[in-house]
Amino acid sequence: MTVTDALVRDDERHLRDRLDELLPAFASDAAENDEHARLPEAALRRLHAEGFDAAALPQHLGGGGASYSFFGEVVRALAEADPAVATIWTMHLGAAVGLAQLTADSLGSYYADALLAGDRFANALSEPTSGNRFLNPQQEASPVEDGHVLDGAKRFVSGSEIADHLLVNVAIDGAPAFFGVEPDATITVIPIWDSLGLRGTRSQLLSFHGTLLRADRRGAAPGPDHRNYVGAGLAGISLGIADAALGALVAHARSRVIAGRPLAEQQWVEYAVADHHSRIEAVRAYWRQALRQADAGDPAHAGGFDRAKLLANRVAVETAQLAVRVGGASGYLRTSPIQRHLRDAEAGQLMAYSTEVLSGVIGKQVLGTETAR
């Protein structure tokens, strides 16, 4: 281990301790954020103030150079407390670090400096027409003197209402192109986000009316060595929700007494909990392996992220469904956290790439009928 590596690990340890202190407050706001579809803005600003954003920025871009493994553990822990915080933080870093990487040669430290200064970022990638294939934009931008112009829409943009910068992709002559866009009067938020789960992400529809995509804010194509925080983090969001659902199940089973004995002592509950806990731990171990592969620069991590997301999305839904069964009618009430975990777990499967798209990709790889995603 080099001196720099040792300093990074010390920073990670310090931040992990700080996170343990922050999480109870984040968790205690989660139910209200969900109830009112309220952005957890204070938690996100706190994460920045405590140094989590700077830590996640790669060292060559002026950040702390924290590992994927560290990033993943922070996302999982945040998701157990409030998955809306975890989702927006993942998207924020995905967009910020993505823009800093894509424009490093043309704009220097512009986006890295903005992240370090506390600006907020969002991914405006998904389109009404491209659906899950968010990296293959269908909306063609028209050339103008200073760049291109976009007339169209991006949807489900988590945290967009507080974003200072958007990572936007469009088609130019049929090929994907990436831009940094600072929201102005040409971009309107259409408030569609009255959703079943992950309500605090406020993943709104953005309408673009003649928005200038500045030539000097255009990024290069993503490279294989670029940080992929969204790909790394999505499994962690679902694992955190699975952990929260199992925690709520255990709390209920231990406190609910039926005919004089705790529900936790019924054998069907023991068997089912053993099964789900073992599967959560297996997915966690597999995901951590993929994170370590990413830290080591092993290209196998990309397939690991896909499989970890698929498995984590499923185990989160199945664990939350078990929690509903164990919770009985009292767990079905709005006052119980169990129903929220089930609603949040469902959202993990929808976020790109969805479990269906991933199943198609992985199935084709295994069957040897692989085509481009």
Give contact residues for ligand FAD (rule: CB under 6 A). 87, 91, 122-126, 131-132, 134, 156-158, 198, 201, 203, 347, 350-352, 354, 356-357, 360
- Looking at the Cβ atoms of 98 and 304, the one nearer to ligand FAD is 98
Cβ at position 193, least distance to ligand FAD in Å: 9
- Looking at the Cβ atoms of 12 and 80, the one nearer to ligand FAD is 80
Cβ at position 124, least distance to ligand FAD in Å: 6
- Looking at the Cβ atoms of 67 and 87, the one nearer to ligand FAD is 87
Cβ at position 112, least distance to ligand FAD in Å: 21
Cβ at position 346, least distance to ligand FAD in Å: 9
Phi then psi dihedrals of residue 152, to 5 deg: 170, -150
- Looking at the Cβ atoms of 103 and 158, the one nearer to ligand FAD is 158
Cβ at position 10, least distance to ligand FAD in Å: 32
**In three state form, how does the secondary structure of the chain look?**
CCHHHHHHHHHHHHHHHHHHHHHHHHHHHHHHHHHCCCCCHHHHHHHHHCCHHHHHCCHHHCCCCCCHHHHHHHHHHHHHHCHHHHHHHHHHHHHHHHHHHHCHHHHCCHHHHHHHHCCCEEEECCCCCCCCCCCCCCCECEEECCEEEEEEEEEEECCHHHCCEEEEEEEECCEEEEEEECCCCCEEEECCCCCCCCHHHCCEEEEEEEEEEEHHHECCCCCCCCCCHHHHHHHHHHHHHHHHHHHHHHHHHHHCEECCEEHHHCHHHHHHHHHHHHHHHHHHHHHHHHHHHHHCCCCCHHHHHHHHHHHHHHHHHHHHHHHHHHHHHHHCCCCCHHHHHHHHHHHHHHCCCCHHHHHHHHHHHHHCCCCCC
> C-alpha angle 90/317/238, rounded to 5°?
20
- Looking at the Cβ atoms of 19 and 345, the one nearer to ligand FAD is 345
- Looking at the Cβ atoms of 200 and 327, the one nearer to ligand FAD is 200
Which residue bears the tokens 């806990």?
Answer: 277
- Looking at the Cβ atoms of 158 and 336, the one nearer to ligand FAD is 158
Cβ at position 3, least distance to ligand FAD in Å: 37
- Looking at the Cβ atoms of 107 and 347, the one nearer to ligand FAD is 347
| Alpha-carbon torsion (87, 172, 136, 287), positive or negative | negative
* Separation of alpha carbons 156 and 358, rounded Å: 19
Q: Are 174 and 203 in contact (CB under 8 A)?
A: no
Cβ at position 195, least distance to ligand FAD in Å: 7
* Separation of alpha carbons 97 and 112, rounded Å: 7
Cβ at position 198, least distance to ligand FAD in Å: 4
- Looking at the Cβ atoms of 126 and 228, the one nearer to ligand FAD is 126
Cβ at position 140, least distance to ligand FAD in Å: 18
